[in-house]
Amino acid sequence: MRRIISLLLLAVLMSCTRPDIPASPIAQAPTPTAPPVRPTDAPLPPIQAPMPTTSTEVAFTEYEQRLIMLYQQASQAVVSIDVVVDQRANLPPGHPPISPDGPTGQGSGFLFDAQGHIVTNHHVINGASQIQVRFANGATVVADLIGSDPDSDLAVIKVTSLPEGMRPLPLGDSRLVHVGQMAVAIGSPFGQPNTLTVGVISGLGRTLRGPSRDFGSFSIPNVIQTDAAINPGNSGGPLLNLRGEVIGVNTAISVSLGGSSFEGVGYAVSAQTVARVVPALITHGRYDHPWLGISMTTIDTLFANRFGLPVNRGVLIGVVQADSPAGMVGLRGGTREATYRGLPVLLGGDIILACNDVLIFSSDQLIGLLDQYQVGDQVVLTIQRDGEQMQVTVTLAARP
């Protein structure tokens, strides 16, 4: 009897397959159609409601309808970017020249304004000798680099013509973003153009390691964390809210040792940073970040107990750069070397407790706060030195 029941169960399971339905074909790259283009200064046509994609009436949930409409309206402003990096400059002396015969890198971007300016990541176009933009309809054009900022990982390129009906994406206010709200990423992961992924905002105020200088490295503050799938090729594409507003530019992912694909933690440069940096890149080709001129270490209770500090929060100044804003007002760096969690630290320097009356709990928080100011602005730092608190006014300068 058990054998009969087993055979009947096997028959039921086999009957669930559909041999008459063919397997999904392997995705192929879209064929360029080279449709007519319009000059970037031509007036934009009015937005039309999205048309049904099939003649068969399908019942979508309200959430699905919103995503479908968002994609139909926003994806037309998202582009794939192919770059050619001339590698001849990196060859050893005497090596025969190598000229790339095709793209050597790939990323994403989105239309910022009707003049043809496209926002992407600095690391997408860094070192590129040629930049090609591929629109959603498959048409391609060559783009020019307008400006780039490694300290925010943002760049602006420009095309001289746009497909008919292509509209810029509206920029949202990332200060109004909340953890838990929906997030939508559109880009070209692994070269697959106009791919949509959905997740939530997982965290705010994150900090990414930025470029290095001879005297140290900088960080990219106020970064948004999301679990919307972001993979190689998504870099430079928009992170959107459900209204279709750009709340961030997808920039990086966290991977385990030896990995390279998405594992649930992605990062996007905030729209607040985009709104501040991109107009300067369009106008001047660069953006000057405010600079204090110190290295610092976060103080928490364990750190304070380990080294006998009088406070259990704030940031400890390690090195003060010569001729920096901090150096000009006499802020003091550390004088004694020590090791904490396997890393070197300098003890004995000033401790920053507040900036413009905002209590400081970490170096990431202070970096994010300072980044909201402009070069030439003054900030009042509350510091602790030799057991006493005092206030020092510092005029922020541009990073060297």
Out of 117, 123, 148, 295, the active site residue is 123
188 is catalytic: no
CA distances from 182 to 142, 194, 243, 249, 261 (A): 34, 19, 10, 15, 22
Torsion, Cα 118 119 125 129, to 10 degrees, reads 20
- From the list 181, 149, 124, the residue with the least C-alpha distance to 289 is 149
Contact assessment for residue 118 and residue 110, using Cβ atoms and an 8 Å cutoff: yes
Out of 149, 151, 153, 371, the active site residue is 153
Distance from C-alpha of 321 to C-alpha of 213, rounded to nearest angstrom: 12
Distance from C-alpha of 157 to C-alpha of 116, rounded to nearest angstrom: 8
Contact assessment for residue 185 and residue 229, using Cβ atoms and an 8 Å cutoff: yes
Contact assessment for residue 359 and residue 353, using Cβ atoms and an 8 Å cutoff: yes
CA 347 to chain CA centroid, Å, is: 34
Out of 235, 324, 362, 363, the active site residue is 235
For the chain, state the CA radius of gyration: 26
- From the list 160, 156, 140, 136, the residue with the least C-alpha distance to 73 is 136
117 is catalytic: no
Phi-psi region of 134 (alpha: psi -120 to 50; beta: other; left: phi over 0): beta
H/E element holding 316? strand 315-320
Structure tokens at 164: 């008919």
Q: Give me the amino acid identity at 13.
A: L
Distance from C-alpha of 326 to C-alpha of 352, rounded to nearest angstrom: 12
300 is catalytic: no
- From the list 155, 134, 152, the residue with the least C-alpha distance to 282 is 155
How long, in residues, is the chain? 400
Contact assessment for residue 112 and residue 98, using Cβ atoms and an 8 Å cutoff: no
Positions marked active-site: 123, 153, 235
